Structure 1
Amino acid sequence: MTGGILQDITIGNCRLILGDCREVLPLLDEQADMLFCDVAYKLTSGGGAHQSMGGIFAKDRYDNSGLLMEVPAWEELGGPFLRACRPDADAYIMTNDKNLFRAGMAFEGAGWKFHNLLVWNKIRATRNQWYMKNLEFTIYLWKGKAAPINDCGSMQLFTLNAKKETEHPTEKPVDLIDQYIRNSSNQGDLVLDPMMGSGAALVAAMQSGRRSVGIEINPKWFKVAVERVARAVEARGGDATPRFAVGQQEAVT
């Protein structure tokens, strides 16, 4: 395979790549019309809450180090993401409150321009001694010439108590990403997710008639994304047969 691309599979109009996005992005042969990324960031470590927490923060899954997965520095991402998009493009970067300001400075420093701050109200809250956490944030950015969103009636706040579809610890709902994609791209456009996790953005792109490229560094979640995208394509009557890159073993490890 080429460079940092470990596996390269296409299902329907979705291309899924196993590899480190920092190595893969320069190898892509087409720039994206829009970018969505739920960046892997360090969570809050320490603290002295006495109540036991469950879910992704249960003691058997999270050691309170702040790390649920491999975490790159924000400053490593803004430039590669910028260059992977067309001259006029929007980007949606998800983060939590602790990383919001550093992420914004890193991406603006790389050349992105700030449009708006969007908020997802998850309804379900994570226990915290200094106000329970029920919100996640999306930094809405653009490069080149700014364009209005397709539905100017959309508001900053998106409220959804989303049911989890996979075991990915930071899975984001397809319906949330769907709104971003429909507002900042058109049918046939290419949507890029450099850290696709379980593939929610690719599912949203496919369901709205967009093409997509997703990159994932973790083989476990790459496999989950491949299976999830295949099910979604098949559910809409498409051909879910995986098409492997030339010279690649037809297996998902």
Structure 2
Amino acid sequence: MTAPTLAYESDLATIWLGDARDVLPTIPKESVDLIVTDPPYSVEWQSRRRAESFEQLLGDGDNDDDRAVISAVLTQCVRIVGQNRHLYVFGPAEALAGQKVSEVVELVWDKGMLGSGDMTAAWGPQHERVSFCTSKFRHAGETGKANVPTRLRKGSVLSFTRPTGRKVRHPSEKPWPLLAELIESSSRRGDLVVDPFAGVGSTGVAAILTGRRAVLVEKDPRWLPIAVERIKAAEAIALQGVAA
């Protein structure tokens, strides 16, 4: 297994090229404020609707090995996120099975348009599930709860139009305003947000543009140049706001 490589580092963001199973163990326990991530969970997604089709994502297979990798990464996420702090994991809730977290609440991302899938079916997919939960990592007997910022009693349907056409840089890219909604609902300015399946860095962009910091990990080198470029652009915007 190739050792992780530091692809980019600044005061606001750190980007690693490598396996999250190697990177996350180097992060101290309960030192992170929020996890927002989209694992390649048994989708086997491959584009056939673009002039240049995307190849299948690394780790995006419906088999026990890929699921075990994702489970191991999420275990590390639970370890590093603060007590009673939040995790948002795109995909089926079963990805969090067996983790030391609270009961999972399922949110729904309404994409605003039909997605890909079986084009012969009468109904097309227009939504994606997001699992929300709280870390319960500490052993029994430890006291104290983090004063977690959150917008209480919000609706469970999040309506944000997904990227389309030439704006699509990654086959499972999420719109950064959607991620900003999650980040602002579960963290404060200056907090640290981690995404171990970073893709083209949308979580990092959302974190920086909402005044947070980000650590991103991505093992597929195809996406790193795009992620770095987007993070630098978001930092430039954020710095302009500070200067103003």
- Shared fold (TM-score, shorter chain, > 0.5): yes
**Equivalent position to 2:85, from 89, 113, 138:** 89
Displacement of 1:82 in angstroms is: 0.9
Change (3 A) 1:61 1:187: closer
Q: Is the 8 A contact 1:187 1:208 kept in 2?
A: yes
Q: Give the 5 Å matches for 1:1-253.
A: 4-29=3-28, 31-43=31-43, 54-55=49-50, 60-61=53-54, 67-71=56-60, 72-73=66-67, 74-95=70-91, 100-103=92-95, 107-125=96-114, 126-128=116-118, 129=121, 131-144=123-136, 145=145, 150-152=150-152, 154-164=154-164, 165-237=167-239
The whole-number CA distance in structure 2 between the counterparts of 1:172 and 1:89 is 22
Using the size of structure 2 for normalisation, the TM-score is 0.79
Which one has the bigger strand percentage? 1
Deviations 1:37-76 (A, max 9, x none): 111122268xxxxxx9614xx89546xxxx4332331432
Change (3 A) 1:61 1:204: closer
Structure 2, unmatched stretches of 5+, are 61-65, 137-144
The whole-number CA distance in structure 1 between the counterparts of 2:24 and 2:184 is 23
Using the size of structure 1 for normalisation, the TM-score is 0.76
Opposite residue 216 of structure 1, the aligned amino acid is E
Deviations 1:12-51 (A, max 9, x none): 4111111100111001257211100111122268xxxxxx
The whole-number CA distance in structure 2 between the counterparts of 1:177 and 1:53 is 26
Q: Is the 8 A contact 1:78 1:112 kept in 2?
A: no
The whole-number CA distance in structure 2 between the counterparts of 1:138 and 1:152 is 17
Aligned residues: 218
Deviations 1:136-171 (A, max 9, x none): 010001113587652225311011223354421110
Structure 1, unmatched stretches of 5+, are 46-51, 239-253
Displacement of 1:79 in angstroms is: 1.3
Deviations 1:219-244 (A, max 9, x none): 12112100111011113335xxxxxx
